[in-house]
Chains A and B, each alone.
Chain A
Amino acid sequence: MRQLSDIEIIQSVKKGNTADFSLLIDRYKDRAFSMLRRLLKNEMDAEEALQDSFLKAFNGLKDFRQDAKFSTWFYKITYNTAMTVLGSKKRKAEETWSSIDEEFDLGSYDNEIYAQAESSRDYIFRIVDKLPIRHALVTILFYVDGLSLNEISQVMGTSLVNTKVLLHRSRNSLRELLLKHNYQEELK
């Protein structure tokens, strides 16, 4: 059975088949929730933001241009919702709004995470959650959601060059930590 494309589902919803929107929810809810949980560091906030994001997407479907990708458009809504939640709660505001040129240091989390990690993989998964918000977001969208750097720059409203800088800086800082613990020896 052929899988319905996002655009086909959107066309059906626009024709009045509201129930078909549940297909889009099922398709994107886990990835969007993962992203929100990592950005907001709180499950309840993440669920609330996820509801807001889907509601905004449903209400905005009439404005959705069908030459765009739904995933990029929806992740942009999700990202903006997360930023609003963070801004309104003034939580980690300096991380949220800091310049992308600003240096960051994961060293302060390193000892604790290294002590808990059972393998290099476990260590990487834990330390990614400690990346500054925009660095974490680029990394997740690139590696987990498979978005291109161009699409990520549209989601975040940053230039392509800056998006690339964020991704490279994330990789470089993670690499330095792996080298510190000699984890690269696990790679054959």
Chain B
Amino acid sequence: MKKLNDEILNKYIDGELDAAEISELKNLINENPEQLRILKAHKLIDETLPALEIYPAPHNFTERMMNIIYDSAGHVRPRVSGFFIGVVSVFVASILGTLFYSFSAVPASAPNPTVSEYVGKGESFLKSFLSGFSGFVGSENMTLLGGALTVILLISGYFLFESHKKFKDKLSGASR
């Protein structure tokens, strides 16, 4: 080995030189500073390139890509929980019901009913509804039913929490 050439330099970087060739290489660079300069430049390339910048994919790419996949495959996308929709529907229906009762309870013949009359009717309806509800809830059977429902809710909550935790672990494991 009289001079460092491209082949030897690349073999050195790729770890393909044997012990005798490495020793020869060391002698060569000790004797000739210009050869050391070339070897240093070659090593600098090899040490710097692994840190090459990784450009992050655009924001929300995964969600958008999954939508494309669902559309292309004709899959039904995961929907909002039916329980959540049910709770919102009951809430909205009770508000609408109260409003409807307030308006219908004021006689149409009444000359120019005021807003306070509507509010008063709505209030009396709510009071009678709540007193009826508390009477129903206050009974002994209802206490037993409430207890059973609480136990069911706690058990469901536990399973929901566990499945959520498993999915979260799965996601964090995949992104590592």
A residues at B contact (CB < 8 Å): 1-4, 9, 18-19, 21-23, 25-27, 29-34, 37, 43, 47, 50-51, 54-55, 58-59, 120-121, 124-125, 128, 139-140, 143-144, 167-168, 171-172, 174-175, 178-179, 183-187
Contact = CB atoms under 8 A, between A and B. Distances in A.
A181 to B, nearest CB: 10
B44 interface: yes
B50 A144 contact: yes
B118 to A, nearest CB: 49
Nearest to A32: B57
B56 interface: yes
Give the contact-size bracket for chain B: 35 or more
A29 B43 contact: no
Contacts of A37: 55
B136 to A, nearest CB: 43
Contacts of B54: 30-31, 34, 144
A144 B61 contact: no
A74 to B, nearest CB: 13
Q: What does DSSP make chain B's interface, helix, strand, loop or mixed?
A: helix
B43 A139 contact: no
Contacts of A187: 40, 43-44, 47
Interface stretch (B62-70, B99-107, B137-145): B62-70
A92 to B, nearest CB: 19
User: Of B43, B64, B65, B72, which is in contact with the most chain A CB atoms at under 10 Å from its CB?
Assistant: B65
Contacts of B47: 187
Interface in B38-95: 38, 40-58, 61-62, 64-66, 68-70, 72-73, 75, 78
A9 B41 contact: no
Interface of B: 6-7, 9-10, 13, 37-38, 40-58, 61-62, 64-66, 68-70, 72-73, 75, 78, 169-176
A26 B172 contact: no
Contacts of B170: 1, 4, 23
Contact of A172 (B6, B48, B64, B66): B6
Given A18-B70, A25-B66, A50-B61, A171 B45 contact: yes
B65 A125 contact: no
Contact of B44 (A22, A120, A168): A120
